[in-house]
Structure 1
Amino acid sequence: MNKACCSISPVQTEYQPKGTYEEIADIKTYVAGPKDAKKVLLCIYDIFGFWATTQQGADLLADSLQAKVIMPDFLRNHPWPIEGFPPRDEEEGQRLGKWFDTIASIPDRLGDIKNIVASLKSQGVEKIGLYGFCWGGKISSLSGNEGTPFVGVAQVHPAFVTPDDAKNVTVPLAFFPSKDEPKEDVDGYWNNFTKAHPDLLEKSRFHHYVDMFHGFAAARANLKEEDNYRAFQDLYTRLADFFKPLLA
């Protein structure tokens, strides 16, 4: 556990999400934390959509940071079924590829984020951070490029890690890969970030969860398993520590 392990509440193995749902930029959105908050964290869930474990993480961050945390349904009620990943046969793999090109299209979701940010700003929100899991981690990285509206971006067990993407991030970065992301890509991404942005390193964070599987902090988390429970608690503590000064 890191030194700030008491900055978030204890994780619960059985959890009922505390947030509510509302429409933001015409997208159904899970919302946790103070309704009138001027600081907001935008969460991009993983490809499995809304899940109690991911929502517990949002609730923990909202409570710790006293910020509003929002989790839009970017997949419009069409998440990828958790039992279908990894694909069980070639046909399912082809369907997944088509799904990524349509329902989970990254360029389209980047457009959604632009609309959501505009909606938040129109409501008087002053500071916005962004974190994402898996596919959402890739979107988080791309959302940190020049002209970003975000004070910082975080990636948790991200998919499609591309080292060159790191060169274009212009705000503090939290990068938390698992053992299942290719190590060469993980090392290349962080090395590129450190070389390109030495001015951002003091506010940025990197921790490689070398003993944890892809998905351990979101939909695929098994909080009844002790190692996963501890890593989940540690991960959300690190996220809270990262965003706290940026949203202050």
Structure 2
Amino acid sequence: MSTMNKACCTIKPAQSDYKPQGTYEDFASIKSYVTGPKDAKKVLLCIYDIFGFWPTTQQGADLLADCLQVRVIMPDFLRDHPWPLEGFPPRDEEEGQRLGKWFDTIASIPDRLGDIEKVVADLKGQGVEKIGLYGFCWGGKIVSLSGDKGTPFVGVAQAHPAFVTPEDAKKVTVPLAFFPSKDEPKNDVDAYWANFTQAHPDLVDQSRFHHYTEMFHGFGAARANLENQDNYFAFQDLYTRLCDFFKPLLA
């Protein structure tokens, strides 16, 4: 791909065969993948996609922790019940019905928004000064809803988000990074960004938009294939853009 961000030297090269560098800790009684300086007072929360903890998603967290010198925390909001990678998209009607029930229960967005509040309260109680938020797919939708009035986050970022709803963009009140793929409906993508820029002209300079029109949904998280050259360069570019977006906000 020819979309490589000019700041590509700011993050380490990604690896196709990767062992996550972080550890696991509990925040608000939720098991979480944690990477980066243990004493950092600035935190970046990650909401993974529907497949849960995955080496490519964790590698992205490690890259951001190194680039930003913050703690990156990825809570297991699905409580060890992610959706199986081989079951998406659903292979038959029965599996589709199970996925719908899963979204209504284990992956309930209102319930997970409540989890975020608890994790943030725990972090603030430990003296954390600034918190950013980024997410993928289903996590991207939660990110969009987490940036509304009164948000505790200094900025929010979505990569190949699911359920893109243009009206949500009007309610975001902090700088936004919006990085959709070719698989999100283009009309919704364009309307979402237009609504954000029109509703919040004061935030545009700090915000970022890049449409990965040649990349599939999931290229920056669990569905990434870093042995594919195009996916590798897009993955590297995505995390560079995320680093550049959050760096001034978490300074």
Q: Show the counterpart of 1:131.
A: 134
**Residue from 43, 49, 53 that aligns with 1:46:** 49
Aligned to 1:240: 243
Q: How many Å separate the matches in 2 of 1:4 and 1:173?
A: 19
- Name structure 2 gaps, 5 residues minimum: none
Give the counterpart letter for 1:116 in structure 2.
V
Report the counterpart of residue 148 of structure 2 in structure 1: 145
Question: Equivalent residue for 1:33?
Answer: 36
Length, aligned pairs only? 248
Matched, 1:15 2:15: no
1: CA distance, partners of 2:91 / 2:208: 35
Which of 47, 64, 67 is residue 67 of structure 2 equivalent to? Answer: 64
Give the superposition deviation at 1:2. Answer: 1.2
Letter of the 1:79 counterpart: P
The alignment partner of 2:213 has SS state of coil
Give 1:3 shift.
1.5
The two structures, once aligned, show a CA RMSD in angstroms of 0.3
Gaps of 5+ in 1: none
Distance 2:26 2:8 in 1: 34
Q: How many angstroms does 1:181 deviate by?
A: 0.2
Q: Would you say 1:185 and 2:169 are equivalent positions?
A: no
Distance 1:13 1:99 in 2: 30
Identity, % of aligned positions:
82
Distance 1:39 1:23 in 2: 17
Distance 1:219 1:113 in 2: 21
The DSSP-based 3-state class of the residue aligned with 1:168 is: coil
**Counterpart Cα distance in 2 of 1:169 and 1:44:** 17
**CA deviations over 1:96-146 (Å, ceiling 9, x no partner):** 000000000000000000000000000000000000000000000000000
- Cα deviation, 1:25-66, whole Å, max 9, x if unaligned, reads 000000000111100000000000000000000000000000
Matches within 5 A, 1:187-226: 187-226=190-229
Q: When the two structures are superposed, what TM-score results if normalisation uses the length of structure 2?
A: 0.98
Instruction: Indicate yes or no: 2:174 matched with 1:171.
Output: yes
TM-score by length of 1: 1.00
Q: Helix, strand or coil for the counterpart of 1:6?
A: helix
User: Which residue of structure 2 aligns with residue 162 of structure 1?
Assistant: 165
Task: Tell me which amino acid in the other structure corresponds to 1:149.
Answer: P
Which of 79, 94, 97 is the aligned partner of 1:76? Answer: 79
For 1:124 and 1:38, the matched residues in 2 are separated by 7
Paired with 1:219 and 1:192, the residues of 2 have a C-alpha distance of 29
Rounded to whole Å, the distance in 2 between the matches of 1:242 and 1:7 is: 12
